[in-house]
Structures are given as C-alpha cells and as structure tokens.
Amino acid sequence: MTVDAMGRAPAVEEPPAALPWDGGEPGDAGAMLAAYERMALIRAFEEAVQRLFLSGEVHGTTHLCNGEEAIPVGVASALAPGDQLAATYRGHGHALALGVEPAGLLAELMGRASGTCGGRAGSMNVIDLEHGLLGCFGIVGGTLAAATGAALGLRDAGGVAVACFGEGAANQAYFAECLNFARVLELPVLFVCENNLYGEYTPWEQVTAGGDVAARARVLDVPARRVDGNDVRVVREAACEAVARARAGGGPGFLECVTYRHVGHSRSDPARYRPPGELEAWRERDPLDRARAHLRDGLGLSEDEVAAAGARAEQQVEQAVAAAQAAPFPEPEAVEEYGDGVG
Amino acid sequence: MESVELRAAIRDGIAEEMARDETVLLFGEDVALAGGVFKVTEGLRERFGPARVFDTPISELALAGAAFGSAVTGRRPLIEIMFGDFMALPMDALVNQAAKCRYLSGGRATAPLVVRTAVGAGGRFGAIHSQNPGTWLHGVPGLKVVCPSSPDDAKALIRAAIRDPDPVVFLEHKRLYSLRGPVGDEVPRLAVPGLARVARAGADVTIVSVMKGVRDALAAAELLASEGIDAEVLDLRALRPLDVPAVVDSVARTNRLLAVEEGPQTGGWAAGLVGAVAAAALDQLDDAAIVATDPTPIPFSPPLEDAFLPGPERIAAAVRERLGAVVA
C-alpha cells in the first residue's frame, strides 16, 4: 500500500493473479456492477444518516462506515442463504450488504415503528435473521462469540457464520477465547478483522502488542490472511476461500482486512487525532473509486453504465429516506411488547 | 416413589429432554468425559454421543456466547458454568446478547439457552467458589433465574428450563446435590403466578426462601413447631420471575413475613420481595423481616463461614424475636 510511508498501515499480501469479476467469466461485469452498486448504496445511506442526524431525525449516536464498504460487500458476496453474519455497532453497511431493506434500516435508526426491529434496537443493535444478520453488537468483541455459536448451530446444515470486528477487538478476551474455541471444535466460522487503524480515537499500534493481528490467529492454527480491505474483489476472493474451507469441514478462517474510515468513530468525533494527509491518502484508495475504475478499465463498461448504478443506489436511499420520514413512531403502549412481563 | 439424589434428578431431567428433543446440546468445562465436577452430567456423553455432549475450553465468555449463537440459530444449548462465581466472566454474552435479543428483534430472534451453575456456601470453598450469583442476574429483563430446593423440583425445573423459549440460568446449590427425595413428572411453566410452592403449610408466619434456605426454613419450622409456633414455608423456586402473588396469598393467611437469603441484604432478592409484598398488600402485613448474611465476602474458616450463613437456628431465632416483639 502506498500509505505505508506513514508507517501506520500494516502491509497486505499481494493479491492473487486471478481475482473475481476480472472479466474471465460470463456475467462478471454484471456481478461486479452489482457489488459496486451495493457499495454505492452503503455510501449514500451513510451520508443520508449523517444528514438526518444533523437534522435531529436520527437519534442517539451513529457509527458510520464510509470508506470501509468493500469489506461487508465482499464478505457478504461469499455467503449462501442460511449463513449468518454478526456485525458491530458500525453495522449499517453489513446489514445493507446482506440485503436488509434500506427503508426498514433507516426507519430503525429514526426510531420508527416500521424499522427492521420496530424501533427497539436503533443503530447499534439491529437483528435480521431472515437476511442473515445475526445481530449488531455494541460491545467490542461480542461478535466473535455470537458467530462462533452460530457456527455451532449451523454446522450440521452446512451453514457458515461470520464475525466482523475491528482491530480493537483483538485485545478483548473474546478474541483469544473464541478463536481457540472455534479451532478446537472445528467450527465453520470466518473471523473478519476490519483493521481501520484506530480503536475509537487511539491509533491501533499504540495499544496492540506485536503489531500483527493476523499473526495472533496463526498462533492458534487458524489460517489467516491480511488483505487489502479497500478492494472488493480482493475481499471477495479471500472470503470465498475461507468460507469454502469452513463449509467443507476445514474449521475456522481469519481475514484481516486493512481499511480506513473516512469519518470519525462516532457522530461526536471530528477525528482530529489523524496525522495531516492521512485521510487524503486513503481517499486516494476509496473502494468505490477503485471499483468504478475496474468496471470501466477492466470490464469495459461505459461511464454511463457505471454512473447509472450509482444513481440507482442514490435513488434507493432517497426513497428510503422519504419512506422512513413518513413512517409513524411506535405507540408508547408498545413499550412492553416482546418483554418478559416481569415487574 | 423411588428416592433419588438431586444431582441424579437433574441428570434424569436433562436426559429426558435430550431424548425428546434432538436440538438440545450439552457442553461446558469437564461436562462430557468427566461427567462434571459434581457428577451431574455423568453418562450423558455415552448415551447421546460426542456431537451433542462435549467438553469445551475453560473460556466462560466464549462458552456463553456459543450458547447464544447456537440458540439463535435453532439449537437448545445447555451449558455449565462450573461455579456460580465464574458467572462474572460470561456476563456480556448473557446480559447484553442473550437476554435482550427477543425484545430488540421484535420477537424475530430468541435465545432458548440454559446456563447451569453450582452455587452456594457452606462447603469451605472460600470467597470465590461459594457465591450465589442469582442477585447479579435477577434484575435483568429477558433472563429467568430458577433454583430448586429438592430433587423433585430439580428435575421439573431443569426440564422446564430446557423447554423455555428464552434464556434461563439454573442455580444448583452445592449443599443439596446429595439430598435425596422422590421425583415426579411435573414440567411447570416458568411463569407467575403458579411458580412458587408451599413446602410446609402453617398459620403463624410465612418464611420465604430458595434452595438451601428452604431446607433450613423447614428445619427451623420443626424447631418452632415444638414451641407451638406454626410456620408456613414458601419455596419461590425462581428469583426471576419472582412469584409475589404467591407470597401475598400466604401473607394474607399469616400476616407475617420472613425472607431468608443466603447473601447480603443490600441489593438482594429478599429486599425486593419484601418491598413488592408491602406495595401489594401492606394492609395484610403485621410484620416483615429479612434474615441475610453479613455484607462481606464469604469467609473460609469453618467457624467464620458458619457464623456467616443463615441456618435453622438463626431463622428460628428470628421468628421468635419478631413474634415476641409483636406480642410484647
């Protein structure tokens, strides 16, 4: 990676010669365009969430994933119906990548009755099993255990579970416990570390001994790769390999996807801790730009075809915003619904 | 009816549910090959095979998370956290993941898991192998906390816990594992009213407790009977849901309430119960009191641990004192 000059991003492996959607197979252009459109949907959605937060319509806090879109889209593209993925509090992109309805997801963030969870969950805790979203978890590292358990539950049916987490989770008890647990029980789970170089506000290298998250997995005999998390094709290739191995009974896999969030940790974070020039350098590696370039230069699509996909994504978000804004809030009487009724 | 040990009653209940429902899994530290440190799960691996009964690493957080994840995806996991004190470790998976998923998902996800754990003092195990974590958990919406006092209840409640659609913590008092008694076929619904049970009918005072406290209260009632005091003993059988209506019913007859808790009064279930009964039926109450432990960690030395614990003598003395105060 060119930004290695800053000394902050760990070096990633060279991508294999053949990547998905490289034009070698019929339908490659369509699949790559669909992946791009999904990433564009996530970007447009996050931008809408930010606007709606500033206008007071999205409540509480938000954790946006601008810049990291290639990871959820690449990983989700490797999954099959019935698989489950656990996402973090930075989970809007994962939900959308899995096919959760944008209008329902946005309504959830706005506390509306039509939200994915009826407005009970909010931005950080969305659950949608039907679309393969095991849940979004507000505690750093929680996804590792939830997905490890889901792998146990899905194994006999040939299913696979995925845990997504930031590099900060590498320092939680969950990390060591679950990687070991999944290895000794040979569970079909893929651990996806989204290393965006900051644990909340703190540079990851200041608080992560050894400087290599993937190496911690290898110590436990979990096959691990560190890849460019800003290239959806690279993420897809690596995820497909690990998912196929897990599904065939080969046990857990581990991906460290190096990436960067274009925004602060949460809505209250202006990200002043970044060195000058870092964000600009990473914008040069924007996963959407790189996908567009491949669609045009590698797959021969016209500028208009690519732009149309982006426009469709933006239109979908506009419709979601309108639908969510028009949706009613829950009735206060619904507060006890789905509770356990114990005083 | 055949008399069985409480540990065997739990084992029989688990075996019946595993035979009845193939989605039930049993895993934890030393539960499979060793049959559990308290020998509760002995023989289950042989009977149901290593795919359904297996040992795990000593990783309470991963263990509870694995229970949550497998429960949400269609299994009914039954895990063992060896000692109740170790429940400090898996709290995130239980409290933030399992307990909340039904509500947060609007009923679209549920986590039907059971956590068995050995609790209670009196065995000279010291401060960190003797606690009762029920009070860490009984205020968590979405969790149930059940706690048998007899072999019959142990079998009934473990079967009910496994069938329950939501997460259940099942407390097993270590001093009761060898208690023998008859066992029936009841499988109660873990809901109130109807969960608590009158262990001994009486007219003068209602003594409420759970687990070992019920045995101690029954022994105290025998001491008091010889003095002409007729105590009712009510076994709550669960800390959440707490069967307040059953206590109110009993107090309507006796007008006096004594709650016995193996743990400190502050933040305990007994304080909450007395408050709830007062709020519901103050006009029925002539007296309400709590026998609890000192607010200290559980001491090791036998004379210290004995002094720390409520026992039949302390319970009987409390009844005499409160009745005496009323009479005087």
Q: What is the CATH number of the domain that holds A206?
A: 3.40.50.970
CB of A173 less than 8 A from some CB of B: yes
Q: What is the pLDDT of residue B153?
A: 98
Q: What is the pLDDT of residue B174?
A: 98
CB of A152 less than 8 A from some CB of B: yes
Q: Calculate how close chain A gets to B163, using CA atoms only, in Å.
A: 16
Domain with CATH 3.40.50.970 in chain B: 3-182
Q: Looking at residues B257-282, what average pLDDT do you find? A: 97
pLDDT in tens, A114-141: 999 999 999 999 999 999 999 999 999 9
Q: What is the pLDDT of residue B326?
A: 55
Q: What percent of chain B has pLDDT over 70?
A: 99
A to B CB pairs, distance under 8 Å: 151
Q: What is the pLDDT of residue B17?
A: 98
pLDDT in tens, B9-34: 999 999 999 999 999 999 999 999 99
Angle at B199 between CA B198 and CA B203, to 5 degrees: 65
Residue A290 lies in a domain: yes
CA distances from B45 to A138, B32, B40, B114 (A): 36, 5, 12, 18
Number of structural domains found in chain A: 1
pLDDT in tens, B225-255: 999 999 999 999 999 999 999 999 999 999 9
Taking CA–CA distances from B106, the nearest residue in chain A reads A117
Taking CA–CA distances from B57, the nearest residue in chain A reads A181
Residue range B3-182 in CATH 3.40.50.720: no
CB of A186 less than 8 A from some CB of B: no
pLDDT in tens, A163-196: 999 999 999 999 999 999 999 999 999 999 999 9
Q: What single DSSP character describes residue A341?
A: -
Q: Is the separation of the CB atoms in B41 and B53 below 8 Å? A: yes
Domain with CATH 3.40.50.920 in chain B: 197-327
Q: Calculate how close chain A gets to B16, using CA atoms only, in Å.
A: 21
Q: Looking at residues B129-145, what average pLDDT do you find? A: 96
Q: How far apart (Å, rounded) are the C-alpha atoms in residues A84 and A148?
A: 10
Record the tokens describing residue A209, joined without a space: 């001994």
Q: What is the pLDDT of residue A341?
A: 81
Cβ-defined contact of B59 to A138 (cutoff 8 Å): no
Q: What is the pLDDT of residue B2?
A: 83
Strands B238-240 and B144-146: antiparallel
Q: Calculate how close chain A gets to B25, using CA atoms only, in Å.
A: 10
Cβ-defined contact of B75 to A139 (cutoff 8 Å): no
Q: What is the pLDDT of residue B1?
A: 72
What crossing angle do the helices spanning B60-72 and A173-184 adopt, rounded to 10°?
70
pLDDT in tens, A198-249: 999 999 999 999 989 999 999 999 999 999 999 999 999 999 999 999 999 9
A259 band by pLDDT with thresholds 50, 70 and 90: very high
- The third-level CATH classification (topology) of the domain covering B197-327 is Rossmann fold (3.40.50)
Residue A339 lies in a domain: no
Residue A171 lies in a domain: yes
CB of A148 less than 8 A from some CB of B: yes
Q: What is the pLDDT of residue A269?
A: 87
pLDDT in tens, B30-85: 999 999 999 999 999 999 999 999 999 999 999 999 999 999 999 999 999 999 99
Chain A residues within an 8 Å CB radius of B166: 340
pLDDT in tens, B102-118: 999 999 999 999 999 99
Residue A15 lies in a domain: no
Q: What is the pLDDT of residue A1?
A: 44
Q: How far apart are the first and last CA of chain B?
A: 46
Of A121, A145, A150, the CB nearest to B73: A150
Of A130, A177, A340, the CB nearest to B59: A177
Residue A318 lies in a domain: yes
Cβ-defined contact of B97 to A173 (cutoff 8 Å): no
Return the SS3 of B186: coil
Cβ burial A148-183 (10 Å sphere, 16+ → b, else e): bbbbbbbbeeebbbbbbbbbbbbbbbbbbbbbbbbb
Q: How far apart (Å, rounded) are the C-alpha atoms in residues B86 and B79?
A: 13
Q: What is the pLDDT of residue A185?
A: 98
Q: What is the pLDDT of residue B325?
A: 57
Q: DSSP letters along A293-311, please?
A: HIIIIIT---HHHHHHHHH
Chain A residues within an 8 Å CB radius of B109: 127, 129, 135
Q: Calculate how close chain A gets to B221, using CA atoms only, in Å.
A: 30
Q: Is ipTM beyond 0.90?
A: yes
Strand spans (E) along A229-312: 253-258
Residue A140 lies in a domain: yes
Contact residues for B159 (Cβ-Cβ < 8 A; gap 6+)? B13, B16, B17, B187
Q: Calculate how close chain B gets to A139, using CA atoms only, in Å.
A: 8
Catalytic entry in B129, B138, B174, B197: B129
Q: What is the pLDDT of residue A271?
A: 87
Chain B residues within an 8 Å CB radius of A177: 57, 59, 61-62
Q: What percent of chain A has pLDDT over 70?
A: 98
Cβ-defined contact of B72 to A150 (cutoff 8 Å): yes
Q: What is the pLDDT of residue A262?
A: 94
Q: Is the separation of the CB atoms in A110 and A59 below 8 Å? A: yes
What is the radius of gyration, based on Cα positions, of chain B? 19
Q: Domain containing A187: what range? A: 24-326
Handedness of CA B12, B15, B21, B26 (dihedral sign): positive
Residue A343 has pLDDT above 80, yes or no: no
A267 band by pLDDT with thresholds 50, 70 and 90: confident
Mean pLDDT of chain B: 96
Length of chain B: 328
Q: What is the pLDDT of residue A3?
A: 47
pLDDT in tens, A300-340: 999 999 999 999 999 999 999 999 999 999 999 999 999 98
pLDDT in tens, A14-69: 999 999 999 888 889 999 999 999 999 999 999 999 999 999 999 999 999 999 99
Active-site annotation holds for B129:
yes
